């Protein structure tokens, strides 16, 4: 169990350096839309959630300053 947790920590550090998890979800959704695994409506929902959550993070970071 410790070995799995250690690997997840490495993955999280890699993703933290490379891109945010939200961006990764957005990229996967875009890939799935191109391969017609999800509909354009589903992709739109994911895009709106990504944009909205990023806006909320930006707003809170400006509010804290």
- Break the chain into its structural domains and give their ranges: 20-64
Residue 29's closest CA among 17, 19, 41, 18?
41
Residue 7 and residue 1 in contact, taking contact as beta carbons nearer than 8 Å: no
Looking at the chain, the whole-number percentage of residues with pLDDT higher than 70 is 69
Q: What is the pTM of this model?
A: 0.56
| For residue 55, pLDDT beyond 90 | no
Query: pLDDT by residue (tens digit) across 11-33?
Result: 666 656 555 677 788 888 999 99
């Amino acid at each position: 169990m410790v070995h799995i947790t250690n690997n997840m920590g490495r993955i999280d550090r890699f993703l933290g350096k490379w891109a945010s998890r939200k961006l990764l979800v957005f990229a996967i959704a875009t890939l799935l839309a191109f391969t017609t695994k999800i509909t354009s409506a589903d992709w739109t929902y994911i895009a709106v959630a990504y944009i909205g959550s990023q806006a909320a993070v930006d707003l809170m970071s400006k509010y804290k300053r």
